[in-house]
Amino acid sequence: MSAIAWAEFLCGPLEMGIVDLAEAVVPVRAPFGDEEAALAARLFNESGRRRGSMLDCMIGATALRAGAALATANPADFKRYLTAGLTLAG
C-alpha cells in the first residue's frame, strides 16, 4: 500500500479498531518520493489533466515504481493508467 493510499484511508470515516487491524494487515507502506512525484505528474498530464485525479495518479505511480499490481475497490478510477503499465489486482 502506498503512503498516499494510507493517508486517504485514514481520512475515514473509520470504525473503532479498524486502523489497528489495517496496520496489522499492511504493516509497511511504500513511500512517495521524487521519482514517484515525477511519474504521477506524467500520468496526470498524459491522462487528460482531469480535476480530482492527482491522488489517483500518485497512488498509481507508487504501484508502478514498486512493480506491484494495484488492488482497489474503484478499478474504474485507475483503468486510464493501464497504458502506462499499471496492473490492477484481481
> pLDDT tens track of the chain, all 90 residues?
999 999 999 999 999 999 999 999 999 999 999 999 999 999 999 999 999 999 999 999 999 999 999 999 999 999 999 999 999 997
* Distance, CA of 85 to CA of 25 (rounded, Å): 26
Q: In the numeric block, which cell numbers belong to residue 47? A: 491522462
Q: Which domain holds residue 34?
A: 3-84
Q: Has residue 45 been placed in a domain?
A: yes
Q: Tell me, what's the pLDDT at 72?
A: 95
Q: Has residue 70 been placed in a domain?
A: yes
Q: Has residue 54 been placed in a domain?
A: yes
Q: Has residue 19 been placed in a domain?
A: yes
Counting the structural domains of the chain, the total is 1
Residues 6+ apart with CB under 8 A from 43: 57, 60, 61, 81, 84
Q: Has residue 41 been placed in a domain?
A: yes
Whole-prediction pTM: 0.91
- 46 backbone φψ class: left, alpha, beta (φ>0; ψ -120 to 50): alpha
Q: Has residue 49 been placed in a domain?
A: yes
